[in-house]
Amino acid sequence: MCGIAGYIGPMQAESVLLVALERLKYRGYDSAGMAILDSHEILIRKSEGRLRQLEEQLSMRPVLGHCGIAHTRWATHGAPTTINAHPHTCARGNIAVVHNGIIENHEVLRSRLQAAGAIFQSQTDTEVIPNLLAQVYTGDPLAAIQAIISELQGSFAFAAVFEDHPDHIFVARQGSPLLVGRGEGQMLLASDIPALLPHAHEYLQLEDGQLAVLTRGQVRICSFSGAVIEPAFKTIEMNVESVSKGDYDSFMAKEIAEQPEVLQRILESRLRGDTLTDPDLGIDLRGINHVVFLAAGTSWHAALLGKRFLESLARIHVEVDISSEYRYRNPVASGGTLVVAISQSGETADTLASLRLAKSKFIPVVSLVNVMDSTIARESDGVMPLLAGPEIGVASTKAYTAQVFALYAFALHLARVKGRIDGEQMRRHLDGMRPIPELVAHSLALAEDRVLAAAELFTPANATVFLGRGGEFPTALEGALKLKEISYVHAMGYAGGEFKHGPIALVTPSLPVVCICPRDAMYEKMISNIEEVRARQGRIIAVGDADDDTLAGIADICFPVLRSEDELLQPLLSILPLQRYAYHVARGRNCDVDQPRNLAKSVTVE
């Protein structure tokens, strides 16, 4: 979940690494630091808090040098303090390390090293690495890393610099993502592609069990055992504009606004006239009669809608599992099962572990990811690209709607393969998909004034309940997650039918209750829920059809959205004002919408 960066080349490393950390801070922002090599020593600068505090320190105490490593931290072991910030060094200060992951046996290693005389400064697991290296180092950094690597248990990617090798960066990966970038006479290192821009024009993904040595303009790669591996670089297709805010005040605002464009891109990739193109999954789906979705967080909410789509259209039995739970039980594996792993980053640790568990049981795995070169994508039998473009804001918005839309297309494809729908039914469903990007754009604009008014009214509220039924139950869960993630309001989503089974006790005249109530098969049931809240003087925010005067008449405020021709797709529209509502409430409470406290974008540790 932390972010690693490295640079060696003709430019001052400090300035390059600061830009890289700025593009990695969505992975963690509890503290930041860097180690720069000059011709005589390793110079360390680090600070607790946001990146700007490190920038202020560097402006007062700049470091010069053309080779260095850097880190932005999401705290796992030890509080987010300066002393726990990376880089960490050995006692002599001649070896510095930055690390992403968790060294699970660090306490055992720490005790052994302390018994041998090592002095520790921090509470982190990372600090065992430079101390282990110092214990065995005799002048060959690569040999030292190879000597200690088998002692490290857990998931890790780390970069090290050695004082007596000023033009080298040494790297190891086991379980946590790490990329090497190459530019003109310069090499870079990063946890994600945006941090390689604009200096690198091509990159490679280090694999588990690999070491790398970076020097100016070149990289040598080998396995942990020393077997030489030929580097295979790919062109970076991302540009700087795609990872900048542009004219928006935040990445979240930009990414919400990009949703019509993203959904149109998915349409164009999957539709050819009146034909839904087949995804190249490399799997014969005709024998599939059971689908298991594996996901976490927002992706889990999308999977709940995926279940609804598949059961309705393809008439297939579907389970939705939380990845962190699936991996720790012994799931029943049977013939005809397909696992679909959903992850925006493609690096979610629990989803990756669950994928590997499924594959160990010889279950075919298809992944839905936004990063095609991610670990989950590379380990899947087939991949469905999300096509959402870089999502930098920690709270997912455009990736969620892209996942839902892509899952609907997948359900249609599976329904056709299974012979569950005919040509006329397929055309009707495709006709329902085509207007969605435009409906999304208009719905965002249509609801904005009401959303602003509701945010002004309810920003002081410290709790909010979200209610939905059928396909809008996942919308309630996702709306609640967005609000709690970025505004720190205690928010809970419930199925409307469960409201009387306990949660209704929460209703008071000061409690906002968000009721998602489009004119669908559950409309009358949701109206009954709203009346129950009104009877107890709860404050009602409704989400529903723009022309529904009845709903507007019984709600304190109603967020209007347009109507989808296909009821299954209505949740794509219902979630939009809830994204904007969370955004405005967070701004009203002076919260950082892009970097909410305690969170990181990509959960790469357990």
E-only strand ranges, 244-326: 271-272, 275-276, 290-295, 317-322
Amino acid residing at 236? I
Tokens 């490679």 locate to 204
DSSP state of 310: I
Give whole-number Cα distances, 20 to 65, 148, 459, in Å.
16, 29, 34
CA nearest neighbour of 571 among 348, 312, 281 = 312
Distances (CA, A) of 393 to 23, 140, 214, 333: 11, 41, 31, 37
Residue 131, CA distances (Å) to 38, 109, 119, 148, 242 in order: 22, 10, 8, 10, 40
Q: Is 590 left (phi over 0), alpha (psi -120 to 50) or beta?
A: left
For residue 422, give both structure tokens.
């005919």
Decide the pairing of beta strands 463-468 and 557-561: unpaired
Q: Residue 189 pairs with which residues in a beta bridge? A: 6, 180
User: What are the tokens at 431?
Assistant: 């006709």
Count of C-beta atoms within a 10 Å radius of residue 594: 23
- Look up tokens 């005589």; give the residue: 40
Nearest residue to 412 via CA among 317, 305, 310, 264: 310
Write 481-485 long-range contacts (CB < 8 A, 24+).
481/297, 481/298, 481/301, 482/395, 482/397, 482/578, 482/579, 482/582, 483/578, 483/581, 483/582, 483/585, 485/394, 485/395, 485/582, 485/596, 485/599
Spatial distance between the Cα atoms of 331 and 452, rounded to a whole number of angstroms: 46
The residue annotated as part of the active site, out of 307, 398, 482, 601, is 601
Alpha-carbon gap, residue 561 to 558, rounded angstroms: 9
* Residue 135 CA: distances (Å) to CA of 37, 116, 151: 21, 9, 13
H/E run at residue 427: helix 423-433
Token output for 483:
């609000």
State the angle between helix axes of 259-270 and 436-458 in degrees (0 to 180), rounded to the nearest 10.
160
2 is catalytic: yes
Beta carbons of 222 and 229 less than 8 angstroms apart: yes
601 given a catalytic annotation: yes
**Interatomic CA distance for residues 387 and 370, integer angstroms:** 6
CA 473 distance to own-chain centroid: 22
SS3 call for 556: coil
Rounding to the nearest 10 degrees, give the CA dihedral for residues 346, 350, 356, 359: -90
- Among residues 464, 504, 489, the alpha carbon closest in space to that of 597 is found at 489
Catalytic sites, residue numbers: 2, 601
